[in-house]
C-alpha cells in the first residue's frame, strides 16, 4: 500500500531521472558488489544508501518506508558502535510482536484471545464486539488528537475489563485458551527473541493488552527468556482462582508514557543501556521509552498494519522506519544482526 517515495538522481547525459527508493537500494547493493563507489555528483547520496543497504540488506524490502535515510544511517552507526552491551529493546506486543493478519485473516490481540474463547458467553462476546466497533475507529483515526482519544480509550478498556470480570474466568483455563487461539507471533520471532537472549539485551514488552495472556503466548512459543520483562494489565484472581479485578494502573494505547515513568525503577536498573530500539504500531507507542535514563540514541520502528494510505504520512513523520503490511521480524532481525556484529 501507499506510494513509493521517489528520488531524483543524475543520468550519464546529465538529465534528471527518477527512481523509487526500493529500486535505488537494490541498485546500490549491486553497484557496491561490482565496483567501489566513485564520488560523482550524486556520490554522497549513493554512498549513504549503499551503507544502509549493505549493512542491513533487509532495508531494501518493498515494505520499508524511510523519510530520512541519512538520519537512520547515523543512528544505526551510533548504536552499532555502542554494541550489544549498551542496547535495550522496548516493544509493544499486539500487532507489533504478533501478526496483524495471517493468510488474509485478522489475528487476535490478547483481549481478542479471551473474547474468542469458550470461557466467554455468546452474549458477552456480542457486547465486546460492540465495544470494538465503537472504539477501534476512534483509536486509529488520524484526524483526532491523542488528548481527544484518551478518555475514549479509558472507557473502552474499563468497559471491556468489567465484561471479562463478569464472566468469572478461571485462571487454570488460560493455558488452553491461548493454545486453542489463533495467536501468532511475527515470522522470524524465534531469531528475534533468541538473539536478544544470546546477547543479553533486555527486552521490555510494554502492552495495553492482558499480561497473563501475553506471557502465556510467548511461553507457549518457547521464547519467554529471562531477559524479557513485561509491563501490562494483569488479572487479579481470588483465592479460588476466579478473575475478580485487574491489578494496578490501567495501561491503554495512549498512556504508555505514564507507565514508563511509573516504572522508572526498572529503567534505573538498566541505566547503562542508553541505546534503544523501539518497536510499535501506534502513535501511543512512541512514548514507551520516556522513562529511560540518559538516553543516547533511539531508533523507532513502526508497523503500519491498517489504513495504510490514510496514515502513512503520520507514521513516516513519527517513526524512523515504517514497515507497511509486513508480517515479519525481518527488518528488526537484520538491524540486530548489524548492531551485534563485531566492529
Question: How far apart, in whole angstroms, are the C-alpha atoms of residue 101 and residue 97?
Answer: 12
Tell me how far the alpha carbon of residue 90 is from its chain's centroid. Answer: 8
Per the annotation, the verdict on 92 as an active-site residue is: yes
Q: Residues 21, 39, 68, 94: which is the catalytic one?
A: 94
Residue 3, classed as helix, strand or coil, is coil
DSSP 4: P
Task: Give burial (CB, 10 Å; 0-12/13-18/19+) of 62.
Answer: middle
Task: Answer whether 188's CB lies under 8 Å from 333's CB.
Answer: yes
Q: Residues 92, 281, 320, 326: which is the catalytic one?
A: 92
Residue 86, classed as helix, strand or coil, is helix
DSSP 204: E
Task: Answer whether 280's CB lies under 8 Å from 290's CB.
Answer: no
- Strands (E) across the chain are located at 6-10, 16-20, 64-65, 87-91, 101-102, 105-106, 203-210, 228-233, 235-237, 243-246, 275-280, 297-304, 321-324
Question: How far apart, in whole angstroms, are the C-alpha atoms of residue 129 and residue 169?
Answer: 18
Q: What nine digits make up the cell of 150?
A: 484518551
* Consecutive H or E run containing 189: helix 189-198
Q: Pick the closest to residue 1 from 337, 313, 309 (CA basis).
A: 309
Per the annotation, the verdict on 94 as an active-site residue is: yes
- State the catalytic residues: 92, 94
Amino acid at each position: 500500500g501507499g506510494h513509493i517515495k521517489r528520488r531524483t538522481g543524475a543520468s550519464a547525459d546529465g538529465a534528471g531521472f527518477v527512481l523509487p527508493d526500493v529500486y535505488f537500494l537494490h541498485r546500490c547493493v549491486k553497484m557496491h558488489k561490482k565496483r567501489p563507489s566513485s564520488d560523482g555528483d550524486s556520490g554522497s547520496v549513493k554512498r549513504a544508501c549503499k551503507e544502509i543497504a549493505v549493512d542491513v540488506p533487509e532495508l531494501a524490502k518493498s515494505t520499508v518506508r524511510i523519510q530520512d535515510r541519512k538520519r537512520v544511517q547515523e543512528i544505526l552507526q551510533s548504536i552499532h558502535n555502542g554494541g550489544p552491551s549498551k542496547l535495550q529493546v522496548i516493544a509493544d506486543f499486539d500487532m507489533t510482536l504478533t501478526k496483524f493478519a495471517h493468510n488474509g485473516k485478522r489475528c487476535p490481540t490478547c483481549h481478542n484471545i479471551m473474547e474468542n474463547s469458550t470461557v466467554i458467553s455468546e452474549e458477552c462476546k456480542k457486547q465486546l464486539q460492540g465495544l470494538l466497533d465503537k472504539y477501534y475507529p476512534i483509536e486509529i483515526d488520524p484526524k483526532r488528537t491523542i488528548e481527544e482519544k484518551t478518555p475514549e480509550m479509558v472507557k473502552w478498556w474499563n468497559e471491556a475489563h468489567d465484561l471479562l470480570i463478569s464472566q468469572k474466568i478461571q485462571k487454570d483455563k488460560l493455558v488452553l485458551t491461548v493454545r486453542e487461539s489463533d495467536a501468532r507471533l511475527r515470522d522470524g520471532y524465534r531469531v528475534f527473541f533468541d538473539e536478544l537472549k544470546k546477547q543479553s539485551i533486555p527486552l521490555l514488552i510494554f502492552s495495553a493488552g492482558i499480561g497473563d495472556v501475553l506471557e502465556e503466548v510467548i511461553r507457549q512459543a518457547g521464547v519467554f527468556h529471562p531477559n524479557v520483562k513485561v509491563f501490562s494489565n494483569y488479572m487479579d484472581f481470588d483465592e479460588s482462582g476466579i478473575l475478580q479485578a485487574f491489578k494496578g494502573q490501567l495501561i491503554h494505547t495512549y498512556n504508555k508514557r505514564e507507565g514508563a515513568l511509573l516504572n522508572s525503577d526498572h529503567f534505573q536498573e538498566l541505566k547503562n543501556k542508553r541505546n534503544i530500539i523501539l518497536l510499535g504500531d501506534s502513535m501511543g507507542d512512541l512514548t514507551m521509552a520516556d522513562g529511560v535514563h540518559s538516553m543516547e540514541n533511539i531508533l523507532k520502528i513502526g508497523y503500519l498494519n491498517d489504513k495504510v494510505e490514510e496514515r502513512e504520512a503520520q507514521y513516516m513523520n513519527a517513526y524512523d522506519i515504517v514497515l507497511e503490511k509486513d508480517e515479519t521480524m525481518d527488518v528488526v532481525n537484520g538491524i540486530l544482526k548489524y548492531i551485534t556484529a563485531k566492529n
